[in-house]
């Protein structure tokens, strides 16, 4: 079953999680709505792509209103395709929400068990990973392009949560909209790194198209890494939405030849009134 539901032109929600876990906001934006123009038309969420700062802030404020999660409660990262994951507390709120300068440096993953914090990351083909351990109120997000994937940012989140006393079988993961295997052609350089993560794996997540050209399923590779880390298959949901195929919905770095906007993944517990 597709985990992402289209409730509004500007975002998809992880409805089955939001229904099961009251107070949770989780989803990813589309490119529709918003005030960005040109190659960033219209709902660009990325500060670092050359768009006007005012347009990006206006788009972010618009999403904050739509999902009812104030911008001052968001955190964002300066994503560098590494695997640094940070635990976030209320003291961090607002960092990276309205400017790139104050985003967490070199950070591609976040987690928290506190309310009133929205963990956000930007994408245009890379794989958004959403994590939850409902019994521990723990939530997380990670940005996995091919580098983050082969360096196993997915497993690193499971390890971080292990330090918090959370077992892999208590972790649920949604693998979100990103480039599909048909759209993602890579070379031997990438496949060599992929192979290093596939020791003892029988069914490969790529196919050879011709000499030195491979069709790579990054979402499946993240699933394989999560399974190896001990997350049960029944806890993992994968989308069928492709950032490159679905041109009307998503920005795609590959399809748009590098000049494009960014979608925003988000996950957070809304603040309950005390």
CA pair distance 144, 27, nearest whole angstrom? 16
- Min dist. Cβ of residue 265 to Zn ion (A): 18
* Strand order through the sheet with 206-210: 185-186, 213-216, 206-210
Asked whether position 180 contacts Zn ion by CB under 5 A, the answer is yes
Asked whether position 185 contacts Zn ion by CB under 5 A, the answer is no
> How many chain residues bind Zn ion (CB under 5 A)?
5
Sketch the per residue contact string, 214 through 253, with Zn ion: x for CB under 5 A, - otherwise: ----------------------------x-xx--------
- Min dist. Cβ of residue 184 to Zn ion (A): 7
39/185 with CB nearer Zn ion: 185
Angle subtended by helix axes 218-228 and 153-163, to nearest 10? 30
CA pair distance 60, 202, nearest whole angstrom? 43
248/272 with CB nearer Zn ion: 248
- Min dist. Cβ of residue 258 to Zn ion (A): 17
36/178 with CB nearer Zn ion: 178
166/241 with CB nearer Zn ion: 241
| Residues 6 or more apart in contact with residue 137 via CB below 8 angstroms | 113, 269
Element (DSSP H or E) covering residue 66? helix 53-67
- Min dist. Cβ of residue 156 to Zn ion (A): 27
Instruction: Extract the tokens encoding 144.
Output: 């996995």
- Min dist. Cβ of residue 144 to Zn ion (A): 17
CA pair distance 63, 70, nearest whole angstrom? 9
Residue from the set 167, 183, 185, 201 that interacts with Zn ion by CB under 5 A: 183
CA pair distance 137, 19, nearest whole angstrom? 15
45/242 with CB nearer Zn ion: 242
- Min dist. Cβ of residue 180 to Zn ion (A): 3
Torsion sign over Cα 199, 203, 204, 205 = negative
66/245 with CB nearer Zn ion: 245
Distances in Å between the alpha carbon of 233 and those of 29, 86, 172, 173, 224? 26, 26, 9, 10, 9
Contact residues for Zn ion, defined by CB under 5 A: 180, 183, 242, 244-245
């Amino acid at each position: 079953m597709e985990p992402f539901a289209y409730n509004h032109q500007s975002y998809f929600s992880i409805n089955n999680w939001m229904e099961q876990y009251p107070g949770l906001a989780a989803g990813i934006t589309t490119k529709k709505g918003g005030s960005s123009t040109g190659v960033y038309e219209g709902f660009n969420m990325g500060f670092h792509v050359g768009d006007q700062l005012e347009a990006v802030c206006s788009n972010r404020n618009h999403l904050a209103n739509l999902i009812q999660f104030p911008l001052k409660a968001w955190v964002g990262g300066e994503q560098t395709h590494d695997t640094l994951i940070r635990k976030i507390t209320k003291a961090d709120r607002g960092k990276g929400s309205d400017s790139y300068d104050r985003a967490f440096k070199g950070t591609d993953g976040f987690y928290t068990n506190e309310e009133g914090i929205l963990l956000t990351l930007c994408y245009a083909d890379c794989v958004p990973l959403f994590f939850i351990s409902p019994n521990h109120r723990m939530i997380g997000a990670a940005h996995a392009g091919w580098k983050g994937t082969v360096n196993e940012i997915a497993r690193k989140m499971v390890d971080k949560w292990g330090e918090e006393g959370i077992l892999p079988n208590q972790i649920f993961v949604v693998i979100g909209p990103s480039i599909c295997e048909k759209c993602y052609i890579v070379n031997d350089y990438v496949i060599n790194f992929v192979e290093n993560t596939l020791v003892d794996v029988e069914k490969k997540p790529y196919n050879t198209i011709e000499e030195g050209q491979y069709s790579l399923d990054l979402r499946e590779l993240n699933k394989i890494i999560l399974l190896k880390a001990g997350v049960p298959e029944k806890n993992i949901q994968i989308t069928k939405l492709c950032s490159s195929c679905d041109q009307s919905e998503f920005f795609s770095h590959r399809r748009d030849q590098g000049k494009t906007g960014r979608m925003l993944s988000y996950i957070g517990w809304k603040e309950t009134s005390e």
